[in-house]
Structure 1
Amino acid sequence: MRAWFVFTARDARDLLLSLLPTAFALWISAHLVTGVQYESPFWLLASAAVLAVGDLLVRPLLGPLSAAVGPLVTVVIGVAVQLLLLHTALTAVPGLDLRSLNALWQVYLWTGLVGVAVRWLVGSNDSRWVVRGLLRRRPRDPGTARPPGLLVVQVDGLSMPLLQFGLHSGTLTTIARWVRRGTHVAEGWRAQLPSTTPASQAGFLHGTTEEIPAFRWWDPELRRVLVANRPADAAVIERRAVEAARAAGRRGLLADDGASIGNLFSGQAGHAHLVVSTSRAGGSGRPYLRYVARPFVLGRSLILTLGEIVKEFYQGWQQRVRRVEPRIARRGWYVLLRALTNALLRDLNVALVAQELADGRAVVFVDFLDYDEVAHHAGVARPEALDALAGIDRVLQTLADVAAVAPRDYRVVVVSDHGQAQGPTFEQLGGRSFKDVVADLLDAEGPTHPVVATAAGEEMRGRVDVLVREFAPHAKSERVSARHEEEEPAAGRDAVVVATSGCTALLSVPDAPSGRIDLAEFDRRWPALVPGLLATPGVGFVAGYREDEVVVLGAQGERDLGSGRVRGTDPLEALGPRAASDLLRVMRFGNAPALYVHSTVEPVTGEVHAFEEQVGSHGGLGGGQNEAVLVHPAEWKVDEDLRDRSVPGEAPLVGAATVHEQLVRWMQQVGLRP
């Protein structure tokens, strides 16, 4: 451990260079704030040195305290310490004069703002500042043996086609550098239906994607709709995944001294932060200390968050002025959610990962939602979405640099959970929401039949809910995400539950024991429903049950998934050779819907039509949704027996559970798992 604390001439030089940006920011602040005077710029440099030394002295003292209190108290203490250090730096230096506490607040804010502006001008406006203390540590001697470690970074929503574009366009400079230097290999893997985060993360972390038919669905066991980004529902989903994994003799990917950060599920990690399924009130504040105790870090993140709000208003206005199509209204909660995702939560996740790497966790798994959230609203390859993607790429380099000085020899794997497809929404196409279309068709042949609909809520809302639960223990935070979903009245007889997930919609019948009924029963009870759906613009196919077989119906034909028999035009013909097996697998789940509705997929553009208000969407088939990404160290080969060769000329990994198996095998190769 001595190598971590040896102070050399190089360290002294790096320390001096690190003081210059702070001194410059203080110099600007001194000119802008009435109540601060200085005799010479030298004293500003001395003040920056006092801040740096105070940070080094105070943080070790705060460690034991933050371990005993919750995150909220840690934040309060951290901000108080920052202000106290700044006050000391501005009053203890003889050539400086601070005349009021009001001036102290102004200096704090202006110094943070100037720091953000300077880093933006020099092109380094990323999260390195959050972990700069770690980055100043010298890399270990290559001859020094370190135990192995694994860092898995999930880039939510990144498709293989977009990765290839990013390598050429300069958007993904870090990954491009890794691939071109030969340290990493980038390849695609197929995200099975449903192409959603809960299914893929359950696969990555627990090795199973069973019984997860969508992002939200009617659960016949609980007699209610499950929504994966609600903490209580995520806990149910993970508990079932753990039980299925144990039955198959598996443990969670993070069960051996692992850390789960910013994910839907914990993966049985002993250290879980901002995880939806295990969100709790309170807990240790120590992992958050690096983020809140360093001077200006929290203030910088808050300023960047406000900047993202301004940027979103401008970019949304630009889409309207330029008449970009397709587009949706970008307002309401999304504006705040984007700001939190791309600024404050990104920095917080980086700080938490850095802390776990510094503590030597065997395996760390983190999810960055930045790109996925922006692409839903702006478009898959629009400038703002690519900017979010570039921000994650910069974070990758920061985390790789932290890993280089960590106590373990970490290998970095980058994986995406699914891709995204773009297109006008279903409502833009036909002028009515999918819920309204279903309601009208149910009413066509008789009295009104209630429709219980679960409308779209941004994935990020669940993460904000977790943030509230972590930092405000007494808040009724479970309502934060729940209130953004439509109300779910009790489903009585003849009710049909409609749960939309991207370009798919799941229709269930609660008065049936399993939530599903035969197509013949649909024809008897609601004869206009299925024919009406198939005649509606934007609906590609409807899958249901005919006796014991799963049948896919299209406007011009049908396909029996069991026998493969096709009458007329095959509804799945344009979706590729793996579509039938994907759909049959989901329709065999115990919680599968009575009707599975999928939007049309444009044959040339690959555009889909989301049943919720999203320009970029996922959850179904086609348009890049299933073309996920795996970037792994070049010396770690993908095992040939895991590749699927059922389609001539193709040999990808198929399914997140297979990616889990490959990760486990790599861990076994380096001794991270017996």
Structure 2
Amino acid sequence: MRTPRWKTLSGAVLRVLAVWLVSSLTLLVLAALLPDFRLQSPSGDSLTRTAFTAGLGAGAFGLLSALVWPVLVRALLLVPAFVLGLLVFFLNGTLLLVALNLIPEPRGQAAPETAVIVAAAMSAASSATSTFLAVRNDEAYHRRLVRLAGRRGRAAVPGPVTPGTVFLQLDGLGHDLLRAATHGDRPLMATVAGWTGGSHRLTPWHTDWSSQTGASQLGILHGSNEDLPAFRWYEKESGALIVSNRPTSAAELQRRAVERTGDGGLLAHDGASRGNLFSGGADQVALVMSVAARRDKHNRSRAGYFAYFSDPANATRTAVSFVAEVVRELVQSLRARFRRETPRVKRGGLYPVLRAFATIVERDVVIAAVIGDMLAGRTAVYADLVGYDEVAHHSGPGHRDTHQVLRSLDRAVALIAKVARHAPRPYRIVLLSDHGQSHGVTFLDRYGLSLADLVRAGCGLPVPRRAGRTPSGAEAREAARAALHRPEGKERQGGSHPLVLTSGNLGLVSFPDVPGRITREELDRRHPALLGTLANHPGIGFVLVRSGKHGAVVLGPAGAEHHLDTGHITGADPLAAFGPGAAEAVRRTDRFPHAADLMINSAYDPVTGTVHAFEEQIGSHGGLGGAQSRPFLLWPVELTPPTPDGEPLTGAEQVHRVFRRWLSEAAGPRQPVRPEADELRRSWQDSA
């Protein structure tokens, strides 16, 4: 039964008055506590007059926040959206000073730095009051959350009876770590722990050789991650360096996937993509890298920033959390240094800011967008929360520094589940990760030289005396660049020397002056010591090279070889330690047109689960070995099992087919199941 209009209006008026009263009381308390803030004339005023002045100031501040703040946010988004988080305090303080100057017979005065504190406290108080009152009224709660998602003025209408689906990706959280975080008397993730074994079922799945977000998300959202050999790689025919999380590269990878499959993507029917590298064919996008490079009216990727930050209370809360996260990282980094924890990587420079951007700003904006999608009744939503992955890279996958991030992710899941009760249609929430992370000391710290230096030494080239270090925070760094509209990062390309690129514990070596993929025989003629130097190094697990005589060959120490085309093995199988699916994963990558001349996987200890990242990461992913290849899928029991009879779920493309089936079960014939990816891949290869 619809609530009478007069009752709705009277409730809204009462809520406005309550927020006004709380804001006025907050002003009075702050005026009594802060020496540089007053609400009285120099000669003093009565309590009644002071209270009246506080009411005028609170009313003016609230009115300015409602009318002026959204305009300021939209204007700032025309420059860089990321700067908004850094200017929130200044803007709020400025609005308060303007509000105080609007009081007749100037009685309100505040020092600029004090105005910032007062404005932040008022925004927090009004937000808390408004939220408390709203959650006690379903319609008010609905309207508030829709407004926070940027959908003002849309009337609530009954939604479809068929369930929608929210796919929530907890980036980088491996299956075994999720189990550890959901077990015990006081689990880190209490909400998810309550789901496991109850309303949901937990199962692992296995990534492809390239165990990183670009390969996994492209396969999951678009049904094909063919010819995506790593996080970054060099394409000889064009001289282009492809980096999965850069806007131009992500747009090109998505275009290729759509061309191969002939399908728009998992989210093409009434879908939304939030915080992802790729759109999945969704019309509604926010913080999606593949559309971030557009400069036309059709690019709504940054609309998520405006939708969230247009509420000054949201902006203040996120800014406070942002600063707190920067301080937390500084404290945690110092603690690790004082305790001389090992392994350890440098965490200075911009990393504390990048971490706060990933764990706070992106998280808050993505969650608000997902809430708006659910209240709008969208059929399918796919969102990525990247905070855990960023922190685990620098602290380690199971380090205590990640515990606070896991708790915040659990709270996000709980909030989304609560909002589902107010949505116009039922929702199924599927939790998943795109990969895990494997721990271990870096290759550089363990052996004193980088992979690039080792390759140069094997080629007889001079090696720098001081090994260079790769920049940290690469994933959050590119997200921040996109938010800032800054130029994409550049790396060295081309030349006659070997080009060495790294993706976690996976290394790629290309010889730009050699057309096509160099053969083992040609490489032995050019650099006779290179393959032996790499294959026999204790920090390297195996090397993939293409032989003109034997096809794909995997090289290991002491002359070990695994001929992938015939299955012939000489000596100890170099792939044995990496599990039964390793040979097929490497064989598939070898068929990619843009596989590097040499594909190098670091050593892996199956007892400790450690790998040696070729980047500055003590929690890494990108290759084979350990937890990085074993993400999870937590799915509602009302859905059909991912695979029959508990068969292994392998590869992002198979996960895509499972998700297609689940959407089809809910939506009927409107969600046709796409043909098998293998058949589409073969047809694409034939046409290419």
TM-score (normalised: structure 2) = 0.81
What residue number does 1:265 align with?
Answer: 278
What residue number does 1:406 align with?
Answer: 423
CA-CA distance at 1:71 after TM superposition: 5.7
What residue number does 1:531 align with?
Answer: 532
Structure 1 gaps, min length 5: 119-129, 470-476, 644-649
Following the alignment from structure 2 to structure 1, what is the Cα–Cα distance between the partners of residues 345 and 89? 39
Percent of aligned positions that are identical = 35
What residue number does 2:183 align with?
Answer: 168
Give CA-to-partner distance per residue, 1:324-353, whole Å, 9 cap, x none: 111111112222110111222222222222
Following the alignment from structure 2 to structure 1, what is the Cα–Cα distance between the partners of residues 39 and 64? 23
Does the residue aligned with 1:630 lie in a helix, a strand or coil? strand
Following the alignment from structure 2 to structure 1, what is the Cα–Cα distance between the partners of residues 14 and 260? 55
Does the residue aligned with 1:521 lie in a helix, a strand or coil? helix
Higher mean displacement: 426-435 or 65-74: 65-74
Following the alignment from structure 1 to structure 2, what is the Cα–Cα distance between the partners of residues 305 and 227? 27
Which amino acid is 2:580 matched to?
P
Structure 2 gaps, min length 5: 41-46, 130-140, 149-154, 673-688
Instruction: Answer whether contact 2:93 2:118 (CA < 8 A) is retained.
Output: no
What residue number does 1:231 align with?
Answer: 247
Following the alignment from structure 1 to structure 2, what is the Cα–Cα distance between the partners of residues 2 and 342? 40
Does the residue aligned with 2:631 lie in a helix, a strand or coil? strand
- In structure 2, relative to structure 1, the CA distance for the partners of 1:442 and 1:136 (3 Å cut) is closer
Are 2:467 and 1:466 aligned?
Answer: no
What residue number does 2:487 align with?
Answer: 478
- Structural mapping, 1:295-310, within 5 Å: 295-310=312-327
Following the alignment from structure 2 to structure 1, what is the Cα–Cα distance between the partners of residues 258 and 212? 19
Does the residue aligned with 2:601 lie in a helix, a strand or coil? strand
Higher mean displacement: 265-274 or 86-95: 86-95
What residue number does 2:228 align with?
Answer: 212
Instruction: Answer whether contact 1:157 1:417 (CA < 8 A) is retained.
Output: yes
- Structural mapping, 1:61-460, within 5 Å: 98-100=108-110, 102=112, 104-111=115-122, 133-134=144-145, 146-169=161-184, 170-180=187-197, 182-246=198-262, 250-279=263-292, 280-281=294-295, 283=297, 287-443=304-460, 458-460=474-476
Which amino acid is 1:268 matched to?
G
Which amino acid is 2:274 matched to?
I
- In structure 2, relative to structure 1, the CA distance for the partners of 1:79 and 1:377 (3 Å cut) is closer
CA-CA distance at 1:101 after TM superposition: 7.7
Instruction: Answer whether contact 2:469 2:616 (CA < 8 A) is retained.
Output: no
Among candidates 26, 34, 37, match of residue 35 of structure 1:
37
Does the residue aligned with 1:653 lie in a helix, a strand or coil? coil
What residue number does 2:138 align with?
Answer: none
Following the alignment from structure 2 to structure 1, what is the Cα–Cα distance between the partners of residues 75 and 325? 34
Following the alignment from structure 2 to structure 1, what is the Cα–Cα distance between the partners of residues 58 and 119? 16
Which amino acid is 2:547 matched to?
R
Following the alignment from structure 1 to structure 2, what is the Cα–Cα distance between the partners of residues 72 and 191? 38
Which amino acid is 1:335 matched to?
P
Q: How many residues align?
A: 630
Does the residue aligned with 1:443 lie in a helix, a strand or coil? coil
Instruction: Answer whether contact 1:174 1:394 (CA < 8 A) is retained.
Output: yes
Are 2:650 and 1:654 aligned?
Answer: yes
- In structure 2, relative to structure 1, the CA distance for the partners of 1:260 and 1:329 (3 Å cut) is same
What residue number does 1:126 align with?
Answer: none
Following the alignment from structure 1 to structure 2, what is the Cα–Cα distance between the partners of residues 68 and 146? 40
CA-CA distance at 1:111 after TM superposition: 4.3
Instruction: Answer whether contact 2:53 2:107 (CA < 8 A) is retained.
Output: no
CA-CA distance at 1:145 after TM superposition: 6.1
Following the alignment from structure 2 to structure 1, what is the Cα–Cα distance between the partners of residues 249 and 160? 43
Following the alignment from structure 2 to structure 1, what is the Cα–Cα distance between the partners of residues 554 and 447? 23
Instruction: Answer whether contact 1:43 1:93 (CA < 8 A) is retained.
Output: no
Instruction: Answer whether contact 1:33 1:107 (CA < 8 A) is retained.
Output: no
Instruction: Answer whether contact 2:124 2:313 (CA < 8 A) is retained.
Output: no
Which amino acid is 2:518 matched to?
I
Give CA-to-partner distance per residue, 1:622-671, whole Å, 9 cap, x none: 22011111112110122535x7xxxxxx6221111111111111111111
Does the residue aligned with 1:164 lie in a helix, a strand or coil? helix
CA-CA distance at 1:459 after TM superposition: 1.0
What residue number does 1:618 align with?
Answer: 621
Instruction: Answer whether contact 1:599 1:610 (CA < 8 A) is retained.
Output: yes
Following the alignment from structure 2 to structure 1, what is the Cα–Cα distance between the partners of residues 371 and 592? 39
Which amino acid is 1:428 matched to?
D
Give CA-to-partner distance per residue, 1:469-493, whole Å, 9 cap, x none: 3xxxxxxx124xx15xxx314323x
Give CA-to-partner distance per residue, 1:234-264, whole Å, 9 cap, x none: 1111111111121xxx331111122212111
TM-score (normalised: structure 1) = 0.82
Following the alignment from structure 1 to structure 2, what is the Cα–Cα distance between the partners of residues 443 and 116? 65
What residue number does 1:673 align with?
Answer: 671
Instruction: Answer whether contact 1:602 1:608 (CA < 8 A) is retained.
Output: yes
- In structure 2, relative to structure 1, the CA distance for the partners of 1:453 and 1:167 (3 Å cut) is closer
Following the alignment from structure 1 to structure 2, what is the Cα–Cα distance between the partners of residues 53 and 309? 29
What residue number does 1:585 align with?
Answer: 588
Which amino acid is 1:528 matched to?
A
Following the alignment from structure 2 to structure 1, what is the Cα–Cα distance between the partners of residues 436 and 448? 27
Following the alignment from structure 1 to structure 2, what is the Cα–Cα distance between the partners of residues 651 and 253? 23
Instruction: Answer whether contact 2:120 2:316 (CA < 8 A) is retained.
Output: yes
Give CA-to-partner distance per residue, 1:36-56, whole Å, 9 cap, x none: 338489879968985898599
Following the alignment from structure 1 to structure 2, what is the Cα–Cα distance between the partners of residues 313 and 80? 23
Instruction: Answer whether contact 1:67 1:286 (CA < 8 A) is retained.
Output: no
- In structure 2, relative to structure 1, the CA distance for the partners of 1:553 and 1:237 (3 Å cut) is same
Following the alignment from structure 1 to structure 2, what is the Cα–Cα distance between the partners of residues 108 and 658? 51
Following the alignment from structure 1 to structure 2, what is the Cα–Cα distance between the partners of residues 96 and 3? 44
Following the alignment from structure 1 to structure 2, what is the Cα–Cα distance between the partners of residues 233 and 264? 10
Are 2:600 and 1:600 aligned?
Answer: no
CA-CA distance at 1:13 after TM superposition: 9.5
Higher mean displacement: 391-400 or 574-583: 391-400
Instruction: Answer whether contact 2:438 2:627 (CA < 8 A) is retained.
Output: yes
Instruction: Answer whether contact 1:131 1:290 (CA < 8 A) is retained.
Output: no
- Structural mapping, 1:14-25, within 5 Å: none
CA-CA distance at 1:105 after TM superposition: 3.5
- In structure 2, relative to structure 1, the CA distance for the partners of 1:144 and 1:656 (3 Å cut) is closer
Instruction: Answer whether contact 2:146 2:375 (CA < 8 A) is retained.
Output: no
Following the alignment from structure 2 to structure 1, what is the Cα–Cα distance between the partners of residues 566 and 308? 58
CA-CA distance at 1:68 after TM superposition: 11
Does the residue aligned with 1:278 lie in a helix, a strand or coil? helix
- In structure 2, relative to structure 1, the CA distance for the partners of 1:361 and 1:113 (3 Å cut) is closer
What residue number does 2:133 align with?
Answer: none
Following the alignment from structure 2 to structure 1, what is the Cα–Cα distance between the partners of residues 127 and 401? 19
CA-CA distance at 1:579 after TM superposition: 0.7
- In structure 2, relative to structure 1, the CA distance for the partners of 1:526 and 1:82 (3 Å cut) is same
- In structure 2, relative to structure 1, the CA distance for the partners of 1:601 and 1:313 (3 Å cut) is same
CA-CA distance at 1:131 after TM superposition: 9.7
